Amino acid sequence: THNNAGLMDVVGFGNLTYNRLGVTFDPKENLSVGVDYYMFSLTEDTDGAYAPSGAVLGAANGEDDLGTELDVWVKQSYSNNFSMLARYSMFAPGDYVGSNADDRSQAYLEANLTF
């Protein structure tokens, strides 16, 4: 789910429809910068939503807006088998979750070594 349904992994597959708008550019060799915006909704508002683990996030309540996510990231590749990724993400819950739900933020630093 990490690469297909938002980088924060808040929403999992199953009764999920999402739209993604993203831009990626390479300002110099081995450096990529990107911004992704996701809009999540239920496919059927008579069924619940699911977490990436498969657990039910909540019961159907007639609402279908799960929320939105904004990801800003930078990736530096040092060789063919080593890279570093830094990102900042924000998730704003929709009407399905309820009006009392708080926004979530996440800072992330990842090293990827392939051998």
For 9-67, write each residue's pLDDT tens digit.
888 888 889 999 999 999 999 999 999 999 999 988 788 888 888 888 777 777 888 99
For 56-105, write each residue's pLDDT tens digit.
877 777 788 899 999 999 999 999 899 999 999 999 998 887 767 789 99
Helix (H) or strand (E) holding 84: strand 82-93
Question: What tokens appear for 85 in the block?
Answer: 């990724």
| Residue 1 reports pLDDT greater than 60 | no
Question: What tokens appear for 5 in the block?
Answer: 């349904």
Dihedral sign (CA 94, 8, 40, 75):
positive
Read off φ and ψ for residue 4, nearest 5 degrees.
-120, -20
Question: What tokens appear for 93 in the block?
Answer: 């819950």
**pTM: predicted TM-score of the whole model, two decimal places:** 0.85
The span from the CA of 16 to the CA of 44, in Å, is 8
